[in-house]
Structure 1
Amino acid sequence: MGRRTARWRRERARRGHRERSVRARAALVGAALLLCTTAALPAQPALAAGTPSPYAFAPDARPVTGTTSTSGAAALTPGSTYKSSLPSSGQIHYSLDLDATSDAYVSVTAIPTPGSTFTARDGIRVSVEDPDGRSCSLETETLDAVRSARPIAVWGVREVSAHRTRCNSAGTYHVIVERVRAADSAPDTWDLELFATSEPPLRQTGETTAPEAWNSASPAPLTDEDVPREGGSGFTSAVSAGQGVWSSAIEPGGTLFYKVPLDWGRQLYATAELGGPSGDGYTVGALNLALYNPARGLVDDTSANYRGKRTAAELAPLPPVAYENRYAKAERFRAMRFAGSYYLVIHLAAGIAERYGDGPFELTLRVRVGGEEAAGPGYAGESEPRGLFQVAASDREAAAGNGPADGTGGGGDAAMTVLAVSGIGAGTLVLVVLGVWAVVARRRVGAW
């Protein structure tokens, strides 16, 4: 344990050095951009700096405003991601224009305001109604015992089924989102990220019952040497992590996102372990581990209390990925209906800092992938977004540690991305930025 802790601290120190270097470069480039841009534009009034969101929204998320009624509700397009907001009371509405053959899903991720007052009953409710106002789905998710500002995602579902007449027709459907809150909760506005997807029908209709026989035994936990892999801050920035033991640092109130590629027939087991300072304190729901499917529908989640010694949150066994799981009775089984990237989301409650300090704490994620790979169900078309319900070769490589874990293609710095897309285009600006970059790069080489 002593060697492992020392190695973890050294790795954290190295990671901190790299992060400081990246921040320094981004700051210098940002300063150059600011100076050149300010010189080229008319004077603008200063804007008050807001508190940055702890959640990393999709870079291509489109802003959209929910309406208070179905009349004039903003349209969501399957395959797209949106950014919106949710008031503390009342319903907000969005619309979906759907055909009569494809299943559709809208995942709504709510980001509670850090530092606000919460109860276990705080959360969101998402429902979908057909063109005649009949209910297609209704799901609610709350913060539960964690009572900390963690992102929670709830999906609305429209399924085309031969066993019922409602929700099968083409037309305009409505997605309704509302806050679930106790009277003594803070009446603040929450940020939302909406992810709309569609699933094509099958070429041939197969079984309409869920598999009954599958291995429900929990395997022995992996004891491999852990590999440092820091998680992302949102679904889009989730870091790939296949079978193995992965370690990171996590701070109170922090949330880490990982994604695990799962093909048809494969089975996922996951455990998150928290190691921190010893003591006599007791924090309820300190560590939360949640699993979401490729459409960002909640599969299951679990929490562990912290008593001043190493503790673990482990997901209960789940069936292998199968199209027919959608016919199961248990919701956690029905959600295992797609191949693709599944998301493990880990949150450390902010309240743990009251007894054990600000951390960071040592986190270990153990991931095991079992089952036998199987053939897919045979879709008659493409999903939106394309390739959502399949495992790409790049995802397999990244999960195994053979490629960029974040899927960005090599760890390019955000500052260079800003430069590339800024659109300023002035030759003087380019020379200034490249000059600053060269100086920082030389210093970095010297430091290493």
Structure 2
Amino acid sequence: MTIKLKDAIIKALPSPEKGNKITYDSEVKGFGCRVTAAGTRSFVLNYRTRSGRERRITIGSFPDWQTSAARDEAKELKRRIDRGEDPMTEVEADRNAKTVADLCDRYAEEHLPKKRASSAEDDRAMIARYIKQDGEKAAKIEPRLKHLKVNEVTFSDIDGLHRAITKRGHPYVANRVLALLSKMFNLAIRWQWRADNPCLGVERNQEEKRDRYLSQEELTNLVKALAEHDDKQAADIIRMLLLTGARRGEVQAAKWNQFDLTNGVWTKPGATTKQKTVHRVPLSAPARQMLSELHYAAEASDKPMSEYVFPGRGGKGHRQELKKDWRELCLTAGLVDTETITDAKGRERVVVTPNARLHDLRHTYASMLASAGLSLPIIGALLGHTQPQTTARYSHLMDDPLRQATERVGAVFTQNGEGAEVHHLKGKS
């Protein structure tokens, strides 16, 4: 049945007992109103493509769309169809367009295996907390990108998320999330999911380089705390960090086949280093001694020997978590900041927070080398740096040995332990 559809007629159309029923318009062929058993009314257009394929596209629901507007839209669609276009192709492409969640999944599947284990772990945590916002630790902040189409994400979406994380008090994390998203959208361009990167132009938060080194007294206290710590494996990992200056992930994932204990050499495979290159470093006598004792204990154990120096609990993989142990060690060694906080009721409480990170042990190792007068190239070689400017941050720590050297020259001018006479030069009048 065809009839010129009007709003009043649309309202009066009866609902079928089941399924849906379409009443067609007499003015525009194929244009009609579909009514479902639930009473929902939608405008549709039936059409045939040039290849003869029959299609049906939904224009919109009533009363969101008035009949006259829906009819005009149907006429425009028919003009496009006459030009050889297929409007449903665009609808289906949009329906199947990849979401940010899809982008996260492909990034995790194809790109994360190329990264170091610790870096991949950090990326997964940021994706879950801030981008997908899945799980108990989800940040639950706006905007939520997970369900957005990759090709619809805007600069404002990215900038808004960066600002939201910053307002939570995590400016550095906001920068890390921004860098992660930028990498993901660069890959989206390569995968032809969109043509540009919406992260470009987002202003990053200013960051200050962290220069935290443990003093001799702090080192002494930490060594004592390590000796008394209940978790011997955690203590040994931290000793290894102190003795080698290696990164935490390198030590935790270290395997026995990387070590030549006879010659005292640790060869780190390129897959485990930040620079993706093999890094061969000598081991000090204390490091060799500790590793030899661990190797002997592993061989003497009734359990099968793990390939890892520091195996995970249950013998699977390697040791992962150290946060709890490091916090306890900082508290014991006094590596903390204390702050008195007053609540709304005027009650005061003292908050104790560790002021040293595990990565600061790497800085401490480098500072000790610099203060001992070793050259920056040697320090860089031990740390595995490939760029001289990376090591240059420790140059100021060489002031002490340089001062000692110049004092030796100054000592030439002293006699019998007494200072030399200083003559002040007067300028010409």
TM-score with structure 1 setting the length: 0.20
Higher helix share: 2
Higher strand share: 1
- RCO comparison, higher one (Cα < 8 Å, 6+): 1
